[in-house]
Amino acid sequence: YLQKGPCQPREHECPFKPAGRRFIQSWFDEYKTWLEYNIAKNSAFFLYCYLFKPVNGQQGGGDSFVGKGFSN
């Protein structure tokens, strides 16, 4: 999985949230080594934190970018 790199579905049209915001495709270029996007969850993840998160314990950002993903 690490050799393939993060999942970055560039062809996907990310939906708008009720507040009028959505994932910006250009973020893939800015954060190409670690930013991953999950279409089903409509959320972004930090690839390495997602793969190597501790089994227990709470991190400073909680589950953002790791379990639930970040979604504005």
Q: Which of 68, 25, 26 is nearest to 46 (CA)?
A: 68
Domain carrying residue 66 = 1-72
Cα–Cα distance, 39 to 58 (Å, whole number): 25
C-alpha Rg value of the chain to the nearest Å = 12
User: Of the candidates 8, 64, 15, which has an alpha carbon nearest to the alpha carbon of residue 38?
Assistant: 8
CA separation, residue 6 to residues 2, 20, 48, 50 (Å):
7, 26, 9, 11
Domain tally, the chain: 1
CA–chain centroid gap for 51, Å, is: 12
Residue 3 pLDDT: 84
Residue of higher predicted confidence among 68 and 17: 17
Q: State pLDDT tens for residues 25-70.
A: 999 999 999 999 989 988 888 888 777 776 665 655 555 556 666 5
